[in-house]
Amino acid sequence: MKGKNYLILFCLLFSGLTKSYGQSITTAVFDATEDAHTKSGATNTAVNYGSVNELIISSTTYSLSPLSYYSTRSFVKFDLSAIPSNAIITSAKLRLRVKSESLVTTNSTELYADLANTTWSQSTITHNSGISNNTIVSTVTTSNFVTVTDIFGSIDYREFDVKNHVQALAEGRIPNHGWRIRRNPDTGNLTPAIYYSTEHIPGNAFFYPKLEVKYYIPMTVTSATIVQATTTSSADGSISPVIAGGSSASKTYQWYNSLGNTIPGGTSLNLTGRTYGWYGLKVSGTDPSDVMYYAFLIGVKCSTVNVTFAPDGNYVDDTYMINNISGSGTTAVFNTQVNNGNSSLIPASENLSPMTTEGLLRFRLWFDPNLTVNSANLTLYGNAHAPTDRPNTSYLKLVNAPWAETSVAYTNRPVSLITPSVTINSIVAGNGNATVNIASLVNSWKLNNPQNYGCHFQLSFYEGSVTKMQFNSSEAAAGSRPSLALNLTSTNCGTNTNLYYVPEENVGPEIADLRNSDKTLRIRYKDYFDADGFLNYSIKCLTDDSSVTLTLTPKNANTNWIEINLNAAGLVLGNVYLLELTDASGKKEYLKFKVVNS
């Protein structure tokens, strides 16, 4: 009956298959699917002990002249396929049921638990199999003696904290070859530590090695309702996101402005009373690791605006992956399993080791479907480009599978699509920056924001020569992080089609829209005029630097709501114009507008 998982039986007897904490943390207990021990020494190295009913971990003298020892190591494996690949592990305890041991009970350093670096089978594993430790993850060097009490009495276990190991295994970043457990030191004449194996009473899961795992699914934004601001100066935009997942049903919220400053009173899920621009949200669950940042855009109804998204690393996911294995056998280093989410660099490179690198980049930015992205100029700041043997021309390709900055490696990298893609032309050696329009990628993300998986940064081809294009990541210093300069048009005019625009004392970058259907420019002046005040207008075309021939009657402006009918002005669809308003005192204000086909 080897290989069978007795999870249901065990957990029913221990008060439930799973338990929820705060409605969102799941506890699962797994039984070993395979276990065995191996022995060194001339007569033992080729012997398989997979059918023995004990797991032995020891070091014993077998020759006094010369003095030499044989070591006994144990191996145990669990099927973790039931844990979602995006799960955040909060706790993982590997437990061996004690048969006989005399180890230190608390924080003992007498046993080490390694993740195995090679596949093995219970029925064939021997010392000669050469199963060693995976060098990418740290060995667990302490263990504890714990007693679990159930309806049948008390059960003693040797327990290892393997949280980091299980996290890497669940992600698929490191292959699941189970654990190797050994004495420390692995030489000397030491009293054996003996535990029950799955062969003790086949089918009786009470004696099986156990793995208790607690985890939650990370938070995501599943939808968002965004109300665009009425005008470029109106503070009437709002953001109402919907959050799923997390470690608890109870969450706390904090909103930030584009400068990274907290918004006073912005501690509810919904943000109201905002002008156009981008805003960041921090959501926290009860577990200390359960924190999510996401940013949202507010545009202006029926208008085109410019927004620069240059956040800190909280709102950007970026990393790179290495395709390289150095060494071999028990000393192999699997760089393919390394996560580089904390790196300050994003390279796409190739050398003759052979080794290649590829990057991933994602902005945690929600694009409302009512915003048309006219341009999205991505600026990447160069750092030590090296087109040594050939040009370092690269691509940004759309990614169509999820990934996490803190867990992705070459082994579990997401798939990228050939189209849409954006080319980054070759850059000479040095620190040259690159600015490319990724509107095609952004508009793809906008179609389904929850599936915004970012872009894949890679060389245009890999052929075995030496070249590198490399940029700073969001972990770099402010001013050299990836940024997006967005030109956005809101197609959502709402129920009020008679929008009024507010002129400004200086000519800014914002462009109001004059709908071609009625050619009436509606203005809300900031201040009331005196009863005897008059307002004069002049209009100039900025597209071709010509003036508009138009006679407008000076308006008695005792109201700040003004309508200017421009049907007879001969304005050209798509051209940008500048309206200059002058009051009786000579004060001037300006409004840029464009004739749009609506």
Q: Is the distance from CB of 157 to CB of 96 less than 8 angstroms?
A: yes
- Whether cis (ω within 30° of 0) applies to the bond prior to 369 is no
Q: Would you state the pLDDT for residue 7? A: 34
pLDDT interval class at 515 (50, 70, 90): confident
Q: Give residue-wise pLDDT tens across range 556-575.
A: 444 556 777 788 788 888 88
CATH number of 512-596: 2.60.40.2820
Task: Provide mean pLDDT across the span 266-274.
Answer: 97
- Of 96, 82, 263, 101, the C-alpha closest to 166 is 82
- Of 502, 499, 594, 465, the C-alpha closest to 541 is 594
Let me know if the fold of 220-300 is the same as that of 512-596: yes
The tokens of 163 are what? 């949280």
Class (C level, CATH) for 220-300: mainly beta
Round to whole Å and give the CA distance between 459 and 353.
Answer: 17
Q: Give residue-wise pLDDT tens across range 16-58.
A: 333 433 458 999 999 999 999 999 987 889 999 999 999 999 9
Q: Give residue-wise pLDDT tens across range 451-504.
A: 999 999 999 999 889 999 999 999 999 999 999 999 998 876 654 445 677 788
Round to whole Å and give the CA distance between 373 and 363.
Answer: 15
**Residue with the two structure tokens 């006073």:** 264
Round to whole Å and give the CA distance between 14 and 17.
Answer: 8
Q: Is the distance from CB of 523 to CB of 500 less than 8 angstroms?
A: yes
The pairing of strands 291-298 and 365-366 is parallel
- Of 508, 513, 522, 511, the C-alpha closest to 492 is 513
Q: Is the distance from CB of 510 to CB of 229 less than 8 angstroms?
A: no
The tokens of 440 are what? 């095609």
Provide DSSP, 461-479: ---SS-EEEEEE-TTS-TT
Question: In the chain, what is the straight-line distance between the N-terminal and C-terminal CA atoms, in Å?
Answer: 72
Whole-model pTM? Answer: 0.78
pLDDT of residue 436 exceeding 70, the answer is yes
Round to whole Å and give the CA distance between 507 and 579.
Answer: 10
Task: Provide mean pLDDT across the span 97-111.
Answer: 95
Q: Would you state the pLDDT for residue 429? A: 98
Task: Provide mean pLDDT across the span 104-121.
Answer: 96
The domain ranges of the chain are 7-216, 220-300, 314-490, 512-596
- Of 319, 430, 437, 317, the C-alpha closest to 375 is 437
pLDDT of residue 363 exceeding 80, the answer is yes
